[in-house]
Amino acid sequence: MAESINLNVFNNTTLPQPINIMGTTVPQGFANISNDLYEYDLSTESFTNLASLSILIATSPNPTFIPYTATIQTSSISGVVDALNTLFKGIFLNSGTTLYVSGSDFIYGNLVINQSTSSSIILGTTGSSPFGIIIDASGNVYTANFGSNDISEITPYGVSTIFATIGNLPRGMTFDSSGNIYTANGGSNNVSKITPLGVSTILGTTGNQPNGITIDASGNIYTANALSNNVSKITPLGVSTILGTTGTQPYGITIDSLGNIYTANNVSSNVSKITPLGVSTILGTTGAQPVGITIDSSGNIYTANNNSDNVSKITPLGVSTILGTTGNNPYAITIDSAGNIYTANSGSDNVSKITPLGVSTIFGTTGSVPQGITIDASGNIYTSNAGSDNVSKITP
C-alpha cells in the first residue's frame, strides 16, 4: 500500500508541482533539469514499514514516462535516499528531515513509496547456526543446524525441541512424502535420514562437501557437492553414485518433473543441467555467485545471486535475464503458487519478494543472517537465521 506524504518546497519557485513521496500528484511538473537544486521539507512526516519506490523519469520534457523501481532497505528517509541513488538518475541527499534533489534528468510526479503490509515474528529458537529449513503439512518447521549437528523442530505455536542429531555440518535439507527428513552433511560427506520418530541414520555417502539437496518422486536423493563439482545420487536403499558433473562449486540444487537436475554454481556463476542419464550441460548464466535455486511449473529456473543482489531467470531454452533486485547477499530462494519469488537476504536481514513481472519489494524483516527459506500453503514465509539461532515467520 502507499502512504501520502506532503512535501513543502523551500526554495523552488519554478517547479509547477513538487514531487509527492508516498502518494501521487498530477504528472505535469518535473523536479530536475539542468542540475538545479531542489529542497523539500520532511519534518512533519514519518517513515515506517517502507518496502519499495517507483518513480517516473525521462531525459526530455513531456516524454513517454519511463518507470524505475528500487528496493528500500531501511525504513527511514535515509533508506529512501539510498534507494533513489541506486537508480543513478540524479543526486539525492538528505540532511536531517530535508531532501535535496539535483540532476540532469526530468523527474516527474508520481514518486510513490510503498509500505510493506507483512508482519514478522520470531517463531522459535533453534540449535546453533541453522541453515536448511522445511515445513510439513501440519505447520511444524524443521531446521538443519550447521553449528550443532542436529535438527530443531518448532511447532506452529513456537514450541522448540531438538528433534534428532545428524552428520557433520549440515546445510541443505529436504523430506519425502512419508515424512522422513534428509540432510546434506558438508563436513562428513554424507546424507542423514531421520524418520518421523526422530531416528537418525546415515543413508549414503556423497561427493566432497554437499550443500544443496533435493529428492525425486521415487525417493532418490541428490546432493550438490561444492568441492568436487558434481552431483551425487543416493537410492532409497543407500546405493550412492555420481550422477554427473557441474560447474564450479555447486551450492543449490533443484529438480524438474522429468527428473532433470539443476545446480547453482557459485564460482562459475551459471546453472548446470544434468539429465537422469547423467548428461551434463550448462543451461545458462546467472548473476554473481548464485547460491539458492528454485524452479517454477513451466520449467523456468531462478537463482539467488549472492554477490550481485539480484535474481536470475533462465528459461528451459537457456535464455537468461535478471528478474529483479533483492536485499543484500541473497542466500536462499523459494517460489509461491502465483510465481512470486522470495529470497532470504543474509546481508540485510530481510526477505525480498519479486513478482513475475520483476517488481521487487522487501516482504519483511528476519532474524540475523537468514540462510534458509521456505513457504507454507497460506503464503507465510519462514527463514532460518544462522546469526541469531531462530526462525522468523513473515505473514503476508
**What is the residue-wise DSSP string for 44-62?**
T----SEEEEEEEEESSSS
User: Could you tell me which residues come within 8 angstroms of residue 100 by beta carbon, excluding any fewer than 6 positions away?
Assistant: 37, 38, 39, 40, 91, 92, 93, 94
194 and 249 belong to one structural domain: yes
Q: Which three cell numbers, joined as nine digits, stand for 132?
A: 536448511
Coil, helix or strand at residue 382? strand
Range of the domain at 78: 8-115
- Backbone φ and ψ of 118, nearest 5°: -80, 165
> Is residue 2 domain-resident?
no
Coil, helix or strand at residue 387? coil
> Is residue 111 domain-resident?
yes
Contact 205, 187 (CB under 8 A): no
Q: Which three cell numbers, joined as nine digits, stand for 228?
A: 568436487
Domain edge (last residue) among 115, 137, 172: 115
81 and 146 belong to one structural domain: no
Closest C-alpha to 114, from 72, 81, 73: 72
Domain edge (last residue) among 115, 145, 174: 115
First to last CA, the chain: 12
Tell me the per-residue pLDDT of 271-329, one tens digit each, with 9 for 90 and over. Answer: 999 999 999 999 999 999 999 999 999 999 999 999 999 999 999 999 999 999 999 99
Q: Which residue has the cell 524505475?
A: 68
378 and 236 belong to one structural domain: yes
- H or E element that contains 80: helix 77-85
Closest C-alpha to 353, from 325, 322, 392: 325
Q: Which three cell numbers, joined as nine digits, stand for 259?
A: 527428473
209 and 186 belong to one structural domain: yes
64 and 124 belong to one structural domain: no
| Alpha-carbon gap, residue 246 to 259, rounded angstroms | 16
Local structure of residue 324 (DSSP, 8 states): E
Tell me the per-residue pLDDT of 122-172, one tens digit each, with 9 for 90 and over. Answer: 999 999 999 999 999 999 999 999 999 999 999 999 999 999 999 999 999
pLDDT tens digits in sequence order for the chain, 396 residues long? 333 333 333 333 333 333 433 333 333 344 444 444 556 666 666 566 666 666 656 555 555 556 667 777 676 777 777 877 887 766 666 767 666 666 555 554 445 555 566 678 999 999 999 999 999 999 999 999 999 999 999 999 999 999 999 999 999 999 999 999 999 999 999 999 999 999 999 999 999 999 999 999 999 999 999 999 999 999 999 999 999 999 999 999 999 999 999 999 999 999 999 999 999 999 999 999 999 999 999 999 999 999 999 999 999 999 999 999 999 999 999 999 999 999 999 999 999 999 998 888 888 899 999 999 999 999 999 999 999 999 999 998
Closest C-alpha to 358, from 375, 380, 374, 339: 339
353 and 371 belong to one structural domain: yes
- How many structural domains is the chain composed of? 2
How buried is 347 (Cβ within 10 angstroms: 0-12 exposed, 13-18 middle, 19+ buried)? middle
Coil, helix or strand at residue 376? coil
Local structure of residue 116 (DSSP, 8 states): P
> Is residue 1 domain-resident?
no
171 and 306 belong to one structural domain: yes
Q: Which residue has the cell 531446521?
A: 143
CATH of the domain at 276: 2.130.10.10
26 and 127 belong to one structural domain: no
In 155-218, DSSP assigns E strands to 160-165, 170-175, 181-185, 190-194, 200-205, 210-215
Domain edge (last residue) among 115, 131, 162: 115
Beta bridge mates, 271: 264, 284
